[in-house]
Structure 1
């Protein structure tokens, strides 16, 4: 009797285990839900096959039911392929439902490609219906009169589903709009023109087609704020004047150094000439002595020479005070 009881317990455990395995591989409840929702699923080929292919039947069937209720007919094979590729089946189906309700032309292949590209396809559909406003950081630019202006713009964009795969992101839109603002302000003759008509910036920037190659369509560009910055022109002129002054000082110093060098060279030349004169004067006594020995110079000739020299020295001593007085007057 005890052996029979033990055998019964083992049989019950085995039956329960087999039932768990059966209902795991054969989701009867999910099949019934799909049947009454109008989604045709085959137990062995579809539901059990999903288990064997390591695909969650709950995810596939429930999303097919949601699509069917929105009058969107999807094949289970497409959803399975997207699931196995690592995509988010639920977001793709919800994006298709939202696009269908908003009368947007979005096919499953496009939505799956957007999702596999790493973008939020559901958020993209929502942005197509409800545009998003992006605010640029403060952009500084200088008008032709040298006055700096600082502007902030608000860009209203809508997702372009056709260009969402491979299209540039919001950062590209912000960079292009900032470049357009700088170019428009820089081409203005006066900063007053920009302050009087800030909408001109929006019109010029919007006409450049800055959304080309991006995942968005620019609907409008509005200048939110424009502030006057520093006088860049005056600062540049002051810096240029300071630079010119330094150049002039350097050139003047160069001329002064050249003049000093020339003066020193002339003084050296004068010193050399004086040395030659002194050397020549030193030869005079020798020449006189030589003339005496050769008989070319007599005693009377020598005394006459001395008298002439004394007369020259006297005249020179008389002329020195007069030259000093004239120098004092001129000085």
Structure 2
């Protein structure tokens, strides 16, 4: 009556107690009531204790292709496993459910394949993965006891699904390095162009200074004549030198044209 008033399923508890007694499973009324009030099907739990159930890992509806794992050599594998579990009556109240079992087994399979040197080792010995995962104690703090883990299917991912993840990563890394080197080359080219422009500006500045210095020559000559530091003969001699130099330059120019 108390269990009924608490919202429990009295008939389900009664059937579970009868089934447990027939199967020689220790199940007290108090524990059966606790399991029922916890929202679990106590009769189903007893049946699962007697006849273990099989859980697909991963769920076919959620991940139809299977678990996605990559070995150390970069080859991508698709794995499907079947986990046989038995209900643990002692841990049903407060223990994790089937989803936790599936998640832990999937994590263990991915980790085991990831630690394999090559994908060939996994294909040759899939039971090695099963043993490694089974010995990891994945059913701790759950309402089930893992009886066995069997690899139902394992295959190399198709080419359309990028089977060789390692090669793809290397290709992407090479492409990234190429783009980085190109960017560095463009940067150096831009710096070279900027430096060339600076040199041209510097040449123009030097030419301007030369022209400015040449403009000071007549003033300096006039000042020298005015102050008596240079005589008229010296001035005429300087003009003769300039005329002679100009003539030599003209002759050199005519010779160059004749050579052409």
* TM-score after normalising by structure 2: 0.89
Q: Within 2, Cα distance between the matches of 1:120 and 1:323?
A: 111
Number of paired residues?
245
Q: Deviations over 1:37-64 (max 9, x none)?
A: xxxxxxxxxxxxxxxxxxxxxxxxxxxx
User: Counterparts of 2:9 and 2:85 in 1: how far apart (Å)?
Assistant: 25
Question: What is the alpha-carbon distance in structure 2 between the residues aligned to residue 260 and residue 189 of structure 1?
Answer: 51
SS at match of 2:230: coil
**Aligned Cα RMSD in Å?**
1.9
The Cα of 1:317 is off from its aligned counterpart by: 5.2
SS at 1:141's partner residue?
strand
Name stretches of at least 5 consecutive residues in structure 1 with no aligned partner.
1-79, 325-331
- Structure 2: unaligned runs, 5 residues or longer: 59-65, 158-162
Instruction: After TM superposition, give the deviation of residue 316 of structure 1 in Å.
Output: 4.6
Q: Distance in 2 between matches of 1:142 and 1:223?
A: 16
The counterpart of 1:269, out of the listed 182, 202, 216, is 202
1:312 to 241, 245, 260: 245
| Aligned equivalents of 1:170, 1:139: Cα separation in 2 | 17
Higher helix share: 1
Which residue of the other structure, out of 155, 175, 184, is the alignment partner of 2:103? 175
1:120 is the counterpart of 2:41: yes
- Name the SS of the counterpart of 1:297 in structure 2: coil
Residue of structure 2 in register with 1:289 after alignment = 222
Which whole-Å deviations, capped at 9, do the CAs of 1:79-109 have from their partners, x for residues lacking one? Answer: x111111111100010000000001001100
Alignment deviations for residues 253-279 of structure 1 (CA, whole Å, 9 cap, x no partner): 221222222222222222211111100
Corresponding residue of 2:152: 224
Aligned residue for 1:220, secondary structure, equals strand
**Secondary structure of 2:55's match?**
strand
Deviation per CA, 1:217-248: give whole Å up to 9, x if none.
00000001111121101110111011111111
1:108 aligns with 2:25: no
For residue 170 of structure 2, what is the aligned residue in structure 1? 237
Which aligned pairs between 1:1-331 and structure 2 lie closer than 5 A? 80-137=1-58, 138-229=66-157, 230-316=163-249
* Inter-partner Cα distance in structure 2 for 1:94 and 1:193: 49
Map Cα deviations across residues 143-189 of structure 1 (whole Å, 9 max, x no partner).
11111011000000000000000000000000000100110110011
* Distance in 2 separating the partners of 1:186 and 1:262: 52
Cα separation, 2, equivalents of 1:202 and 1:151: 12
Structure 2 Cα separation of the partners of residues 193 and 323 of structure 1: 83
Question: Which ranges of 4 or more aligned residues in structure 1 deviate by more than 3 Å?
Answer: 310-324
Q: How far off its partner does 1:308 sit?
A: 2.4
Q: Using the alignment, how far apart are the partners of 1:317 and 1:206 within structure 2?
A: 101
- Measured in 2, the distance between the counterparts of 1:97 and 1:172 equals 29
Q: CA deviation at 1:299?
A: 3.2
- 3-state SS, counterpart of residue 224 of structure 2: helix
Q: How far apart in 2 are the matches of 1:150 and 1:244?
A: 31
- Per chain length, whose mean CA-contact separation is higher, i.e. which structure has more relative contact order (CA < 8 Å, sep 6+)? 2
Kindly tell me: are residues 101 and 241 of structure 1, through their superposed partners in 2, closer, same or farther at Cα, counting changes over 3 Å?
Answer: same
Return the alpha-carbon distance in structure 2 between the equivalents of residues 319 and 124 of structure 1. Answer: 114
